[in-house]
Structure 1
Amino acid sequence: MEQEMTDIEAQTKAATQEGSAVFKNANRPVILKFEDVVYKIKIKKEGFLKKNMKAEKKMILKGVSGIVLPGEILAMLGPSGSGKTTLLTALGGRLGGRLNGTITYNGKPFSNPMKRNTGFVTQDDVLYPHLTVTETLVFTALLRLPNSITKEEKIMHAEAVITQLGLTKCKNSIIGGPFLRGVSGGERKRVSIGQEMLINPSLLFLDEPTSGLDSTTAQRIVSTLWELANGGRTVVMTIHQPSSRLFYMFHKVLLLSEGNPVYFGMGPGAMDYFSSIGYVPSVAMNPSDFLLDLANGVSSDDSQDNQTVTKQILISAYKNHLAANLKEELQNRDNHLQDGLENKEFAQWSTTWCQQFSVLFRRGVKERKHESFSGLKIGQVLVVAVLSGLLWWQSDVSHLQDQTGLLFFYSGFWGFFPLFQAIFTFPQERMMLEKERSSGMYKLSSYFMARTIGDLPMELILPTIFVIITYWMAGLKPTAGNFLYTLFALLFSILVSQGMGLALGALVMDQKSATILGSVIMLSFLLAGGYYVQHVPPFISWIKYVSISHYTYKLLMGSQYKPNDTYPCGTNGFCLVGEFPAIKAVGLDGQILSVVALFIMLVIYRLIAYLALTRIGVTK
């Protein structure tokens, strides 16, 4: 994969300058209109008794209107909880539920073609930490750009975005994360913007793109967005507290207070408007600070009663002075930008299932190999393997109890280890899956298959090494057939345990809760596995029929013993292995049935995991 990325860079280096011109102008101009947008949610309030639980409706957005033209930046300001992000999500076509009002794009409702022409940058930069900037954008380009563009052209598009966003110096640096040094916060934000710029969107939404950045970096980000808007794009963003330099770069400003609009109009004209209705800052200050004070109801008197009155005055002033003119503009604005989107046929997916699987597989292997083969994990397995080999050193058939103990340890250790590795899989990738699925990058089935198949080599290498070390040190049957049977039984059970971990993680989506639940289930399986308790009461003996440990232990014993094998017992005597109490309780028969049972579990657990994931992002 690394060699492939090196070849990619070599092939496209000369084409970068030419490709950067591709993104100079918007693909298709879009006029965004939204009128009387109202959004309600239900809040359950629990009374003294549960039967008194009541569901109340809360209005998050209360009749918000506006219009943004190609070449304009609309900045939505307001205190926390004012509804900025909710409105942005609604305008981006990503908000369901009780949403009322009218939102149109060139006079048309949101559609699949418009979705393909829209970029959405979330507040949190959801990126893979071990991929470089180039790899991140190239993989995104291979997934998001249609098959009408060749692979080389897709890579050229990624290089063009890198050049346009000023990421050339860090193009070969990894993204990094909380515990991994990588690119800076501003560069990470530009990479997130670059992922959306790959489709050359006409409509770009950004949720607080300057959050957590210093003023200089924030200036660079907004300057980049200003240049993008200048190319004919329609840019809408939420921003919390911009500097005065940033404020005067916004073409239009929407100020929200508790879901109510209190100003919509040109950015530089905001101060004049509030002066005209009697609100003037007492000292020279940043316009955005002054607007946020007003949205919070803070003017000359900071009392709680006065704040409520101030908010009501501002809402009334908006309805009397701005709402009528805005409504007239919405009605009179001609949707003359006929971009042909409604007449163009779009496939539901930009790439085929096989292409999605291939790209996701390569990306996943490159990202997760650092975690799967970490020194800590390798050291853990090697230490346990050597210690086990020493404890069971050359324990031949004369130490039958010890050998069965080793086989049960196999099933226990390699039941818990892959289970806890798999439990964290989907909770850790939830945000990435939501982001990419909402953008329509790939089918859930291609992601799921690439994720599970991509893990197989990495998840099966360490247990194979473990068996190689312990098998020969412990003195188990030294034949190729017995060794391969043992290895097969263990690796097969690992896949089943991994499937259960994937199912629990996908169902619960909380790492702590899923870990506790997984521990309880696996301990129950171990207790019913047939080693600790040989005389299980009938009313609870059913657990062994769903126990991974029981079937694994049965297969492992079958790999070493036959019913007619003998072992030394008593004084100069021999007994049948099949009559040994610990083995007789589990039995050496039913080997094929054990394989079938584990296979059924393998399928069921993975099916549960897949169905649970359909709740995340798009469910198609």
Structure 2
Amino acid sequence: MADLEAQQDDQSSTILARPNLPVTLQFDEVVYKIKMNEGGWSELMKRNAEEEERVILKGISGSVLPGEMLAMLGPSGSGKTTLLTALGGRLGGDLTGTITFNGQPLSNAMKRKSGFVTQDDVLYPHLTVTETLVYTALLRLPGSLTKAEKVGQAEAVIAQLGLLRCSNSIIDGPVARGVSGGERKRVSIGQEMLTNPSVLFLDEPTSGLDSTTAQRIVSTLWELANGGCRTVVMTIHQPSSRIFHMFSKVLLLSDGNPMYFGKGADVLEYFSSLGFSPGMVATNPADFLLDLANGVATGDTDEDLEEVKQRLVTAYKTATVREELSVADYDSGALPADDDRRWSNPWIAQFSILLGRGVKERKYDSFSRIRIVEVLVAALVCGLLWWQSDIDHLQDQVGLLFFYAEFWGFYPMFQTVFAITQERMMLTKERASGMYRLSSYFMALNLNLPMDLVLPTIFYAMTYTMAGLKHTAGAFFSGLFVLLYSVLCTQGLSLAIGAALMDGKSGVTLGAIIVITFLLSSGFFVQHVPIFISWIRYISISSHTLNLLLWSQYETEETFHCTANHTCLVRDFPSIRAAWIGGTVSAVSASFVAMTGMLVFYRLIAYLFLMRLSVPRK
């Protein structure tokens, strides 16, 4: 094992020792504004134009050289994350000022040379560390590399970030314990390190970690910057004193204003020259800076919080001695020529990788123990309740067919709505990195959904056999086809709802209302539906499902014993007459065509909503 680790350490040192191109980041007078109450109708809210516009960043300047690590400090709401997002090229809207990389504006080529680690570790819980990084490498690294080379790059990152011990552990799971918080953060950093970036942006990389783990993370970042000649920029809320002394430069923000930019070692001397010092008691420099950013000053002063903040902001802007922002004398080299290439891999490669990853992740949800038990218990109870019913107990059989439409109208709804809402953060993160096209993701997602057809098949086979429905292969398989087709239609509706709302609870609530409306309009409960609302049955998945299930079981001229001495037509039975649109070929075809239209239409709606929230980096 030691030999393997040494071998992989050597591999990582050769592959990831330093980026291909050192990059100097420089930003000057960055201002960002947002519109408040835009589109509102209240005249009171529109009375003053200044009230409609809020300035988040107020003229911030700085620079970071290769091998340096810049920490942006400030209280919550100071603009740290907004500035980081702007520097990383992920912020739209009213952004002014200049942001350059080696003296050039941000380009496609430069974006491919940078990495961005979000505050939340957005990872698939059931994939192992190795699987997570390998799939990311397959998607992000260029198609000119072979699969073995991409896997080798992932293994090198695992070794460099010290993840060998947990490489085969899942990220998180309800049964098996996943990796620790610090290991999760290193996996997130590793995903961005796969492209061997020249610039690495990190949003609160130590959030939620204990001080020891946080120090290990920052030490790793310091090694990546100092040893790899990378430019590292991070936001951090309240670092320990040991972490603080690792920062090459510090940018202190307060309400979007810069209070200090310069070397971390000079920060206390600078504020002491303004009459602010931490006092005689040993103080964490970061705590002292956050106090100042909040307007809390030590010593005897009658100034209130806002006066202190304004004084420090003014002092910084008017100071004669400031960090020299010019980096023209640092020869970082010219950036590679920009190109129009947006995707690292062709569509079919993206699709196949996403499909494989989706199958591996989704199988844990589709075939979890609780879902298997739920379906088997429900099937057993139904089979016993409808045990060996025959056509002379027609109401019972129709009730079972209606229950098919009802149960498999609700159950897939809950699964799919939560599935797509849980995918939101992952989709947004990966699309922002330009990993794949939305179309390849959406196609892979839809081909993963049929995994959910296994449990309906088992449920149908058990209940069909126990209930004693028509004993012919044609009736069995046509009914099974109808049931599975209705599940696919319901999944499409669920995708549309989930993509539109992107909130699991709201999506399930809306979905339940729609499904209940569809069920009530199917004709089983209400047999005399008023004409002004009867049109709902023609757009109801449940109505068409029930109609096709009735068609799979009964012939148009089939009879049953309505009394001891008389037979009646099945089609004249009240529950069937109200629910059955018709057993003719044209009526059956119309229901099938309607369900096909809904299957396609709902997925189109879902795709359009996903386009709205996942705009990739250009």
Q: TM-score range by the shorter chain?
A: over 0.9
Q: Name 2:236's counterpart in structure 1.
A: 239
Cα distance, 1:45–1:140 mapped onto 2, change above 3 Å:
closer
Distance change in 2, residues 1:340/1:77 (3 Å): closer
Contact 2:12 2:160 in 1 (8 A): no
Give yes or no for contact 2:262–2:322 (8 Å, CA) kept in 1: no
Residues 118, 332 of structure 1: CA spacing in aligned structure 2 closer, same or farther, 3 A cutoff?
closer
SS class of match (1:62) = strand
- Partner SS for 2:604: helix
Partner of 1:501: 494
Q: Structure 2 matches for 1:476-491, cutoff 5 A?
A: 476-491=469-484
Look up the match of 2:52: 56
Residue 338 of structure 1 aligns to which amino acid in structure 2? G
Report how far residue 452 of structure 1 moved.
Answer: 1.4
Relative distance call for 1:207 and 1:15 in structure 2 (3 A) is closer
Q: Deviations over 1:119-178 (max 9, x none)?
A: 001111111111111111001000000011111000000000011011111111111168
Equivalent position of 2:334 in the other structure: 339
User: Which of 588, 597, 610 is residue 613 of structure 1 equivalent to?
Assistant: 610
Counterparts of 2:5 and 2:484 in 1: how far apart (Å)?
43
What letter corresponds to residue 289 of structure 1 in structure 2?
A: D
Unaligned runs of 5+ in 2: none
Indicate conservation of the 8 Å contact 2:238/2:286, yes or no: yes
CA contact (8 A) 1:12 1:155 kept: no
Measure the CA separation in 1 of the matches of 2:485 and 2:128.
35
Cα contact 1:139–1:359 (8 A) shared by 2:
yes
1:281 aligns with 2:274: no
- Distance in 2 (CA, whole Å) between partners of 1:301 and 1:79 is 21
Partner AA of 2:230 in structure 1: R
Aligned residue number for residue 461 of structure 1:
454
Would you say 1:168 and 2:164 are equivalent positions? yes
Residue 41 (1) aligns with residue 37 (2): no
Once the two structures are TM-superposed, the CA of residue 53 in structure 1 deviates from its matched residue by 3.4
Report the alpha carbon displacement of residue 220 of structure 1 after superposing the two structures with TM.
1.2
The C-alpha deviation readout for 1:408-466, integer Å capped at 9, x for no partner, is: 1111111111111111122111111111110001111111111110121x210001001
The letter for the 2-side match of 1:616 is L
1:528 pairs with 2:521: yes
**Cα gap change, 1:430/1:533 in structure 2, threshold over 3 Å: closer, same or farther?**
same
Q: Distance in 1 between matches of 2:530 and 2:80?
A: 61
State the SS of the aligned residue for 1:41: strand
Q: 1:139 to 1:474 in 2, by over 3 A?
A: same
RMSD: 2.1
State the one-letter code of the partner of 1:398: D
User: 1:191-223: per-residue Cα shift (whole Å, max 9, x none)?
Assistant: 111000000000000111111212221111111
State the secondary structure of the residue aligned to 2:304. helix
SS at match of 2:127: coil
Q: Secondary structure at the match of 2:536?
A: helix
State how many pairs are aligned.
604
Structure 1 residues 304, 366: closer, same or farther in 2, change over 3 A? farther
Q: Determine whether 1:85 maps to 2:81.
A: yes
Deviations 1:310-334 (A, max 9, x none): 1111111111226x745xx445625
Matched-pair contact (CA < 8 Å) for 1:16–1:159: no
DSSP 3-state at the match of 1:30: coil
- 1:115 and 1:284 map into 2 onto residues whose CA distance is 42
For 2:506, the equivalent position in structure 1 comes to 513
1:117 deviation in Å? 0.6
Q: What is the TM-score of this pair, normalised by structure 1?
A: 0.94
Amino acid at match of 1:494: V
Query: Match of 2:123, as an amino acid?
Result: L
1:378-389 matches, cutoff 5 A: 378-389=372-383
Structure 1 residue 337, shift from structure 2 partner: 2.7
Q: In the alignment, which residue of structure 1 is the partner of 2:319?
A: 321
Which residue of structure 2 lines up, in the alignment, with residue 541 of structure 1? 534
Q: Matches of 1:304 and 1:167 in 2, distance apart?
A: 52
- Is the 8 Å Cα contact of residues 486 and 541 (structure 2) preserved in structure 1? yes
1:29–1:232 Cα contact (<8 Å) kept: yes
Quote the offset at 1:546 in angstroms.
0.8
Aligned mates of 2:486, 2:69 — CA distance in 1: 56
Per the normalisation by structure 2, the TM-score is 0.94
Would the alpha carbon gap of residues 12 and 278 (structure 1) be closer, same or farther in structure 2, given more than 3 Å must change? closer
Change (3 A) 1:149 1:169: same
| Contact 2:5–2:159 under 8 Å retained in 1 | no
| Paired AA for residue 610 in structure 1 | Y
Match of 2:358 among 338, 354, 364: 364
How far apart in 1 are the matches of 2:232 and 2:314? 28
User: Is 1:270–2:270 an aligned residue pair?
Assistant: no
Q: Distance in 2 between matches of 1:332 and 1:488?
A: 68
Aligned AA (1:550): S
Moved more, 298-307 or 286-295: 298-307
Q: Counterpart of 2:387 in structure 1: which amino acid? A: W
Conserved? CA contact 1:226–1:249, under 8 Å: yes
What is the distance in 2 between the residues matched to 1:401 and 1:617? 49
Q: Percent identity?
A: 63
Is 1:449 the counterpart of 2:446? The answer is no
1:184 counterpart = 2:177: no
Q: Give the corresponding residue for 1:22.
A: 15
**Once the 2 structures are TM-superposed, how far is the Cα of residue 266 of structure 1 from its aligned partner?**
0.7
> 398, 405, 430: which is aligned to 1:436?
430
